[in-house]
Every structure is written in C-alpha cells, then in structure tokens.
Amino acid sequence: MSRPPGPRDLVVGPWGARFMGRRMPCALGRGGTLPAAWKREGDLATPEGTWRLAALYWRADRARQPRSLLAARPLGPQQGWAEDPADPAYNRPVRLPHAFPADRMARGDRLYDICAATDHNAAPVVPGAGSAIFVHLWRKPRHPTAGCVAFRRADLDWILRRWGMRSRLIVRPRGGL
C-alpha cells in the first residue's frame, strides 16, 4: 500500500494544486481525470494516481537550467517523444526525424521550455495506455492540456527547486485535497 500524501508531495486535481503548504492553480487534461487503468492514447485525460518525476528537460536556447535535484537535460531541435502505440520506442524519448509519429519537444510555443516527464506507463510500457504525461508550463491560466499537468512559470520553478527525491505527483479526481 502506498503512503498517504505528505507535504513534499505535489497533489493536483481539477481544483488546483498543493505543494509544501502552498496552493496554486494548475491545468489538467481537456478530458478531465481518469483512473490510470482507463487511460488511453489520445483521450486528452490526465491519469489519476501517484507518479514520480523521471526526467527534467529544458530549452537551453530559451530558458535557464531549472534549479532542481532532478537530473536535467537540455532539449535540442531533434528531441521527440514517441507517441504511436505501434512504435517499439512508445512512451520514450526519441531522436527526430523518427520512423513513427512523435511529439516534438522543441516546440514553437513555450509549453516545454521546462518540462518534467512522469513515470506514468513506464515500467512496463503498455502500448496505447498513454504517453508523454508531463509536468510543463501552461499556455494560459487553466487552459486545458492534452493530458499533462501544467503550471505558470513562477510556480513550476518554485516546485522544482523544492522537489525532493521522495516527492511524488499525486493526481486526484474531482473532490477536495
């Protein structure tokens, strides 16, 4: 059984987010939240459950390296994320161009200027059970994502500076904290 949420866990839901005693707005998937077992590629939902942040990326040409205990890797123009369930590299970083459809990480907008990949559907990877569930910058206040969790820049910087090795992302369904 997993431990209950602690102060170093980032708890999010349709009502917003809580981390280390601070509440802040966030954006979730356009499809709302779904139990992780129901998550499917392209459903635009954020999977409910408890996740770790597995990797941190940033656009070195646009942003400074985030201060965080997470290992950070710069994003280049050939960085992608495999999103086709038929791809043997599904839900993994890939180099572009790629033989299968992939999400371009070095986007024209600023969403992935700072981006943390979660461990949703990572061990083992189940084709079609959802890929690229990231914590990233939001487009505008509370504007829905394609299934990720998004924050304004100042809040994401604040979270990453305080993220601990035992911290978790906990996505809750409709309801309270």
pLDDT digits (tens, 9 = 90+) for 52-93: 999 999 999 998 899 999 999 999 999 999 999 999 999 999
Q: Which one-letter DSSP state was computed for residue 5?
A: P
What would the two tokens of residue 20 be?
Answer: 């280390």
Taking alpha carbons only, the member of 24, 23, 27, 31 closest to residue 14 is 27
Give per-residue pLDDT as tens, 21-60: 999 999 999 999 999 999 999 999 999 999 999 999 999 9
pLDDT at position 7: 86
Give per-residue pLDDT as tens, 163-172: 999 999 999 9
pLDDT at position 3: 82
Between vectors from CA 166 to CA 120 and to CA 163, what angle results, nearest 5°?
Answer: 85
Residue 1 reports pLDDT greater than 90: no
Is residue 83 within 8 Å of 76, Cβ to Cβ? no
Residue 176 pLDDT class (50, 70, 90 cuts): very low
> Side-chain half-sphere of 8: how many Cα atoms within 13 Å?
10
Percent over 70 (pLDDT), the chain: 97
Distance CA 29, CA 111 (A): 14
Tell me if residue 158 falls in helix, strand or coil. Answer: helix
Mean of pLDDT values over 107-118: 96
Residues composing the chain: 177
Distance of CA 45 to the CA centre of its chain: 12
Is residue 170 within 8 Å of 50, Cβ to Cβ? yes
pLDDT at position 175: 54
Residue 4 reports pLDDT greater than 90: no
First to last CA, the chain: 19
CATH topology (fold) of 10-171 = L,D-transpeptidase catalytic domain-like (2.40.440)
Between vectors from CA 53 to CA 48 and to CA 55, what angle results, nearest 5°?
Answer: 135
| C-alpha distances in Å from residue 154, one per residue of 1, 8, 170 | 34, 18, 20
132 backbone φψ class: left, alpha, beta (φ>0; ψ -120 to 50): left
